Amino acid sequence: MPERTTAREAPALRVRQVPGAPVVVVRVALAGGARRESIPGLALVTGRSLDEGTRRRDYRQLAAAAEALGMNACGYCAFEQIGITVDALAADWRAAIDLAAEMTFEPAFPEERIAFVARQAAAELEAQADDAEVATARAFADLLYAPHPKGRPLQGDAASLARLTGEQCAAFHAASLARGGVVVVAGDFDEEPVRSHLAAAFAA
């Protein structure tokens, strides 16, 4: 089981059997999206870096482990949350839950990967600057919400992205984890063993 190092609110756990679907879907959502960031872009880089390596495995090893079982695993960010998605074959539900737990509790936030994710986000901002529809939507959001975080892109801005560090991402993740969240598992499986394994993997 993942090592626990920080006192936190246990996430709510939900399990749903979906007969006939030969897949399992694990979704982890932690209360820590862009609305809670102090630096523009911090939540996005933190969320996207959840699949960039853990204390057990670097990003290459993590990707290889997922690929070996045909799983898709990635971190994400939204305005209200950061989290993880893992999609796998139904027979691999244990591995999917364990991988989601490892990424949730043990992200490493290595500086070189933080810089890589930040550069990706900056490139997205640059590409979107030429899109008239996006520019109009952002101008409207800025007019409506500024200086609230909802008035700016999830990517923040190029200057703030360039300053982000692994330590800042780790602190933001720890605060998000401490607030709790929800973990949902759905797929073609028997609910009771899945519920038991999920409770052990995500115990407070």
- Residue pLDDT tens, the chain, 204 long: 344 445 567 899 999 999 998 999 999 999 989 999 999 999 999 999 999 999 999 999 999 999 999 999 999 999 999 999 999 999 999 999 999 999 999 999 999 999 999 999 999 988 877 766 766 766 666 666 666 666 567 898 999 999 999 999 999 999 999 999 999 999 999 999 999 999 999 986
What's the count of helices (H) and strands (E) in the chain, helices before strands?
Answer: 8, 5
Let me know if residue 70 belongs to a domain: yes
> What total of structural domains would you count in the chain?
1
CA distances from 199 to 14, 18, 188 (A): 10, 19, 18
Q: Is position 172 within any domain?
A: yes
**E strands present in the chain:** 12-17, 23-30, 72-77, 82-89, 181-187
What does R_g of the chain's alpha carbons equal in angstroms? 18
pLDDT of residue 54: 98
Q: Is residue 145 part of a domain?
A: no
d(CA 31, CA 182): 9
Residue located via tokens 């989601």: 100
Let me know if residue 27 belongs to a domain: yes
Looking up residue 83, the CATH number of its domain turns out to be: 3.30.830.10
Residue 31 lies in a domain: yes
Q: In what order do the strands lie in the sheet with 12-17?
A: 12-17, 181-187, 23-30, 82-89, 72-77
> Residue 153, Cα to own-chain centre: how many angstroms?
17
Question: Whole domain around residue 39: which residue ranges?
Answer: 12-112+166-201
**3-state secondary structure (DSSP) of residue 76:** strand
82-89 vs 181-187, strand pairing mode: unpaired
Q: Is residue 161 part of a domain?
A: no
Residue 149 is assigned to a structural domain of this protein: no
Residue 30 belongs to a domain: yes
Q: What is the pLDDT of residue 132?
A: 66
SS3 178: helix
